[in-house]
Amino acid sequence: MTMTYQQEQFLQSATGRDAILNLNARHNRAYSAGKRDRWIATFRHSGATYVRDGELFTSLRSGFDGGDGARLVTVDHEIHIDGVNASQRCVALLFAAAYGDTTLRATGTYRDELIFERGDWYFTSRNLAWDVVPSRHPLVM
């Protein structure tokens, strides 16, 4: 049984989205475990960039700041696929575990550009902007 054009496009989009979500999971686990080489492997092999709070890292090694008891989680993924290119926007949650307690350390937003090459998806650019945290919430008394 052959698929219609729309069915093929839907299947390609669904499998691409799934692969990008798995890429995010590998990226987050590598960051949380402090595995710099595994974290770098989620990026395109040459020419990838990483921006954290406006600071550009063309050397991914120098941009890595993972591990240290932090756990990175991404949620609320908005993914757009156009052939072998894709863009993504998602929310980053950074948790810290200390003395048996886990607390939310920071939230932010990733804006990503991705490419499908060598049979998998990779980040070509990843831009992380951490949210500004007020020193005191206005509703806390």
Instruction: Tell me the pTM.
Output: 0.88
| Positions of the chain with pLDDT lower than 50, given as ranges | 140-141
For residues 116-132, one letter each, b for 16 or more C-beta atoms within 10 angstroms of the residue's C-beta and e for the rest, the string is beeeebbbbbbbbeeee
Q: 39: buried, middle or exposed (CB in 10 Å: 19+, 13-18, 0-12)?
A: buried
Q: What is the pLDDT of residue 134?
A: 56
Q: What is the pLDDT of residue 140?
A: 46
Sheet of 70-82, strand order:
55-57, 49-52, 120-130, 101-117, 85-98, 70-82
Per-residue pLDDT tens for 48-57? 999 999 999 9
Domain ranges (residues) in the chain: 5-130
Q: What is the pLDDT of residue 54?
A: 95
CATH topology of domain 5-130: Nuclear Transport Factor 2; Chain: A, (3.10.450)
Q: What is the pLDDT of residue 141?
A: 41
